[in-house]
A and B are shown apart, each in its own frame.
Chain A
């Protein structure tokens, strides 16, 4: 079955630490990949997306993600996190079956001062 897996459910980091959140998907064929963020009390917002081209994509707030087709992965990274990055992060995939997205279970990130 098609699925999106996020490996880390809860991550706690100190400010200035580096972040990498894993995301793997099990779709065949062409995929479009997304990372969304949900800050406490706010709605989901797009961090970045990959459709084609350079597999290293840069998003807002210093986030980036790398699409590795051979590994079916789209990991999210940030070199130095801030307290304001505390949020829930969701990886999502669109496998060209329409525009609806299939989401991973999310990773809760807590950044401590």
Chain B
């Protein structure tokens, strides 16, 4: 298994500001992903965080809005830029467990509310 810590766990932000979410894993992992869970919705994949290179974004998500860093195999950040109320969501970091079993492990999420 993998233990994932996210910071902040929740925040209230003003429109137009940016917030960076941190994800720390207790072991080195190859695959790391960022998901968004909007109120009452399912999880939507934002991007794959690639170590040492640019993240791979899913359709509908762009680097300017959601810049991602992955400086090493245990840490990543997701920034939500120029926030609007539509960005109010839970943002989740997830990793593939050791042995690449296909199972994803999730952090507890960062709940952002944009006013």
- A103: chain B residues at CB < 8 Å are 42-44
Bound-state CA distance A102–B96 (Å) is: 14
Tell me the minimal C-beta distance from B8 to chain A in angstroms: 15
Cβ of A14 within 8 Å of any chain B Cβ, yes or no, is: no
> A43 contacts B103, CB within 8 Å?
no
Bound-state CA distance A101–B106 (Å) is: 12
- A98: chain B residues at CB < 8 Å are 31, 48
- A106: chain B residues at CB < 8 Å are 42
- B102: chain A residues at CB < 8 Å are 32, 49, 51, 94, 99
A residues lining the B interface (CB < 8 Å): 32, 34, 42-44, 46, 49, 51, 90, 94, 98-106
Cβ of B104 within 8 Å of any chain A Cβ, yes or no, is: yes
- B53: chain A residues at CB < 8 Å are none
Bound-state CA distance A102–B99 (Å) is: 21
B residues lining the A interface (CB < 8 Å): 4, 31, 33, 41-45, 48, 92, 96, 100, 102-104, 106-109
Give the residue of A46, A90, A104 whose beta carbon is less than 8 angstroms from that of B103.
Answer: A46
Give the residue of A99, A104, A105 whose beta carbon is less than 8 angstroms from that of B96.
Answer: A99
Q: Nearest A residue to B6 by beta-carbon distance?
A: A43
Please give me the 5 A-B residue pairs with the lowest Cβ-Cβ distance, nearest first. A44-B106, A105-B42, A43-B108, A103-B43, A103-B42
- B100: chain A residues at CB < 8 Å are 99
- B43: chain A residues at CB < 8 Å are 44, 90, 101, 103
Q: A32-B102, A43-B109 are in contact. List 11 more A-B contacts (CB 8 A).
A: A34-B103, A34-B104, A44-B92, A46-B103, A49-B103, A94-B102, A100-B33, A100-B45, A101-B43, A101-B45, A103-B44
